[in-house]
Amino acid sequence: MTTREWLPQAHASARRPRPAAARDPRPPAGPPRETEFRPRVPIDVRRALAAHQRGAHDPAHTEHQGVIWRVSRTPEGVATLALRVERTRVRAAAWGPGAAWALDQVPRLCGDGDDPSDFDTGGHPLVASVHHRHPQLRIGRTDLLFDALVSAIFEQKVTGLQAFGAWRMILTWCGERAPGPTPRPMFAPPADWHLIPSWTWHRAGLEPPQSRTVVAAARRRPSIERAADAAASGADRDRVLTSLPGVGLWTSAETRIRAYGDADAVSVGDYHLAHQVGYALTGHRVDDDGMVELLEPWRGHRQRVIRLIMLSGAFEPRRGPRLAPEDHRGR
């Protein structure tokens, strides 16, 4: 089966005549590079990929007619990646200067680098039950540290709605248009985050503390990426990332999970996580210290246990209104 056969709608839409003013300004992308990934063991690829989508309208990640589309700024340039998940394999096609890098990274993105072979449920009934129902759960990794860090900074101390909205606007306004026959306009993250003007951050709804943190991190990007990639452990990466002004343990943990697929990272300081973990494991709320203590028996796989808890549906009943988004932009 050729790419033209498993991406029929994308290619058809790309060929459809449109008014001159609405035509895509990009040069022709040319034929894609292609490969296929056959996992050694069954993997829940869709769930591993879904964890990297920043909201329903993420300009860098979408699903259309059974094909998952991702756009990234790889070390070799922007790449558009299309993935069709089948029963025993994942078909992949990529466009752009970073296409070869993106295809080589597909197994790790799908969770192939995550090894739960030594995971022990510890006899906890809920963890054991969910693990039994979802033995194919894996934690994928993007291998793109800086973009993972920026997306985590966007999500500091705000609702998901606010963070995802700001992410969508900044990528759409300042990012690079994706190569290839994407089902809708998609964009890679900006190359020069530190050159985005202050009024653009404001229009996007990102608060000054977050935008300043992104800009400061962007100025140290090469050294941070080298040091974090060379770090031998999650704790070492925490030390590298938290050396940046405005980056704490929560942001560092979220970055490690997204970029490196860290199966042990715990996002201490999350608004809801400690309550959810405490309620699922003990039937009542705990604080961050209590969550860390509860998860200690699973050290090495604490993020895996958290994801199993999220799949369990064992959430504390809500007793009050949701946190209301705040918007300080002038009208």
Mean pLDDT computed over 259-287: 96
**pLDDT average, residue stretch 244-259:** 98
pLDDT attached to residue 133: 97
Measured CA to CA, the distance from residue 170 to residue 203 in angstroms comes to 9
Closest alpha carbon to 58 in 157, 181, 178: 178
What's the pLDDT at 6?
77
User: Which burial class, exposed, middle or buried, applies to 297 when counting CB atoms under 10 A from its CB (0-12, 13-18, 19+)?
Assistant: middle
User: In the predicted model, is pLDDT for residue 22 greater than 50?
Assistant: no
**pLDDT > 50? residue 20:** no
What is the DSSP code (8-state) at residue 180?
Answer: S
Residue 267 pLDDT exceeds 50 = yes
Q: Of 94, 89, 69, 114, whose CA–CA distance to 262 is shortest?
A: 114
Q: Domain 145-312 falls in which CATH fold?
A: Endonuclease III; domain 1 (1.10.340)
Average pLDDT over residues 67-74: 98
Rounded to an integer, the average pLDDT of 127-134 is 97
What pLDDT was estimated at residue 316?
84
Question: pLDDT tens digit string along 215-233?
Answer: 999 999 999 999 999 999 9
Other CB atoms within a 10 A radius of the CB of residue 285 amount to 14
In percent, the amount of the chain with pLDDT more than 90 equals: 84
- Of 201, 191, 192, nearest in space to 170 by CA: 201
Asked if residues 63 and 39 have their Cβ atoms less than 8 Å apart, the reply is no
Instruction: Tell me the pTM.
Output: 0.90
Find the mean pLDDT for residues 46-55. Answer: 97
Distance CA 274, CA 168 (A): 28
**DSSP-derived secondary structure letter, 267:** -
- Could you give the residue ranges of the DSSP H alpha helices within 266-328? 273-282, 288-295, 302-312
How is 116-160 classified by DSSP, letter by letter? -TT---TT-HHHHHHHHH-TT--------HHHHHHHHHHTTTS-H
Q: What is the pLDDT of residues 138-185, one digit of tens each?
A: 999 999 999 999 999 999 989 999 999 999 999 999 999 999 999 999
Report the pLDDT averaged over residues 291-305. 98
Decide: helix, strand or coil at residue 93: strand
Q: Are 217 and 244 in contact (CB under 8 A)?
A: yes
Residue 149 or residue 12, greater confidence: 149
DSSP for 64-75, written as a single string = ETTEEEEEEEET
